[in-house]
Structure 1
Amino acid sequence: MFPKKVLLKDGSVLTIREASVWDARKIVEYMKEVTSETDFLITRPDEVYDVSTERSYIKMYRDDPRKLMLVGVIDKEIVSVLTFTGFGRKRTRHVGEFGISVKRRYWGLGIGTAMISSAIEWAKRNGFKRIQLEVLRSNERAISFYEKLGFKIEGVKRKAVQRDDGSYDDTLIMALFFD
């Protein structure tokens, strides 16, 4: 299934593939950049893993058949990262949760759609029936995007995230179901 090539709206080609331990340094650099570009991510730049920890994290994802870490690459540059984690209990084995980020200068090209569609396809092949995510209530652009992909708002976690200025934001729980 991977690697997968996708033609983007600007004519560039996105390669979607599973992350490798060899990507650790580039993923750390990527994470430091994306966490400093927006307030819509939970992780702050000073909380990004070091390269050694990131290698271990990638290895954990590679070694677990119920986890997936994808990188989206354009011209050898990582422009997106998606992680998917399947729940482990017998009664919730059909459920998985994902998180995604895209570098700001690549927003609006179709990268998020391509990455999430790839994760959904992988999840279906691996027996998942429900995919969920959490998104900040203030991130209206992302909420609208997820709704276009078929996700529905199911609930609210009030004051789930404290912003740098001390104010709080709620997170919305959104889910997608399939057979």
Structure 2
Amino acid sequence: MNIEKQDFIVKGLAYSIRSAEEKDAEALSRLRVQIDGETENMDREQGEAFIGPAEFTEIIHLDKEKDRNLFLVADVQGEIVGYSRCEGSDLKRFCHKVEFGVCVARNHWGYGIGKKLLELSIHWADTSGVEKMTLNVLETNDKAIELYKGMGFEIEGIMKKDRRHADGKYYDTIVMGRFKS
């Protein structure tokens, strides 16, 4: 599915959010590896579960064809600095919901890019017949948890000791969901 491009200016930074295009595949591949190395909030360590440009091209192509998928990118002067994705299921028992994920390059934190990606995804979901959005978030990612709560998500559960980071410590994953209001 696609959305129309939207432009924003926050704290002097001009950026656009638009649907991902196949031409973005190479930049998305690089950005994913970069972001995985910038924060512990992602599921992967840097370089793990690598998705190359060809695979991103295929994901973008499939997401455009599926009514229950949405792939957005945040663009600053032609540079992709963040992205989000909603992925639905073709299974009848799960076709009422989508899973949301988002990431933004560290040097572009604080400009509301993640929030805008979430807001546009919520709007798309609410106007596309999606009844529920779900997401997973690291227990220590307080800013994200507060953002999600402020956007109507509720904690649905906690997966105890779900992840083990490079520091050898275990961390919980918080499962959150939002029903269409």
- Pair in the same fold by TM > 0.5: yes
By how many angstroms is 1:60 displaced? Answer: 2.0
Corresponding position of 2:30: 29
| 1:100-157 alpha-carbon deviations (Å, 9 max, x no partner) | 0011111111111111010011111210111110001121221112112221111011
Three-state SS of the structure 2 residue aligned to 1:40 is coil
Q: Show the counterpart of 1:76.
A: 78
Q: Tell whether the 8 Å contact from 2:13 to 2:111 is kept in structure 1 after alignment.
A: no
1:49 pairs with 25, 44, 51, which one?
51
Alignment partner, residue 150 of structure 1: 152
In the alignment, structure 1 residue 171 sits paired with structure 2 residue 173: yes
How many angstroms does 1:59 deviate by? 1.7
In structure 2, C-alpha distance between the alignment counterparts of 1:26 and 1:80, rounded to whole Å: 10
Q: Amino acid of the residue matched to residue 24 of structure 2? A: D
Provide the C-alpha distance between the structure 2 equivalents of 1:166 and 1:57, rounded to a whole number of angstroms. 33
Report the TM-score, using the length of structure 1 for normalisation.
0.93
Give the superposition deviation at 1:92: 2.5
Aligned-pair distance for 1:171? 0.5
Q: TM-score, normalised by structure 2?
A: 0.92
Aligned mates of 1:43, 1:69 — CA distance in 2: 19
Q: Which residue of 2 aligns with 1:162?
A: 164
1:4 — aligned with what?
Answer: 6
1:32–1:118 CA distance, 2 compared to 1 (3 A): same
Q: Give the AA of the match of 2:23.
A: W
Is 1:66 the counterpart of 2:77? The answer is no
Secondary structure at the aligned position of 1:41 is classed as coil
Alpha-carbon shift at residue 74 of structure 1 (Å): 0.9
Cα displacement (A) at 1:83: 0.7
Deviation of 1:158 after TM superposition, in Å, equals 1.3
Where 1:117 maps in the other structure, the secondary structure is helix
Q: CA RMSD, aligned part only?
A: 1.4
Structure 1, unaligned stretches of length 5 or more?
A: none
- Residues in 2 aligned to 1:177 and 1:14: alpha-carbon distance in whole angstroms: 29
> Which range moved further: 154-163 or 88-97?
88-97
**Equivalenced residues, count:** 178
Query: Partner amino acid for 1:82?
Result: S
Aligned position for 1:107: 109
Larger deviation, residues 140-149 vs 98-107 = 140-149
Q: Which amino acid aligns with 2:17?
A: I
* SS class of match (1:80): strand
2:40 counterpart SS class: coil
Distance 2:74 2:119 in 1: 12
